[in-house]
Amino acid sequence: MAAALTAAQGVSSASSSTETKFEHRLQITLPFPSERLCRIAQQTLSVDKEPKPDSCRRTMSIDGTKLLITFEATELRVLRIASNWFLDMALLCCETMEAFDAE
């Protein structure tokens, strides 16, 4: 299951100085063979939250058989760490579904 990656940089989210500015964004699209497997992956991967929600946030949605993930972070380093961890967990999830899925 290959992933399509799109990166966008320089997106600020707030004009107020009291709100955190998520200036860096990464969008990942993970295609799945079926909508059911896509939903299983979303439910599995959404259990773990970002350790520092004030510096990185993740949103996930489903579009047919595609899992759409968006990361927003205050620093590129935080974005890299969060996305690497997520992709490792997504790979493990896909390998597990491939090994144990009955359909």
- 53-99 confidence digits (pLDDT tens): 889 999 999 999 999 999 999 999 999 999 999 999 999 999 999 99
Q: Could you tell me the two tokens for 78? A: 């935080």
Longest dimension (CA), the chain: 52
At residue 18 the predicted structure's pLDDT band, cuts being 50, 70 and 90, is very low
| Res 9: pLDDT | 39
Residue 40: which of 60, 70, 59, 26 has the closest Cα?
60
- Amino acid identity, position 22: F
Judge residue 25's burial from the number of C-beta atoms within 10 Å of its C-beta, 0-12 exposed, 13-18 middle, 19 or more buried.
middle
Rounded to two decimals, what is the model's pTM?
0.77
Residue 43 has pLDDT above 80, yes or no: yes
Query: What is the rounded distance in angstroms from the CA atom of residue 70 to the CA atom of residue 33?
Result: 21
What's the mean pLDDT when you consider all of the chain? 84
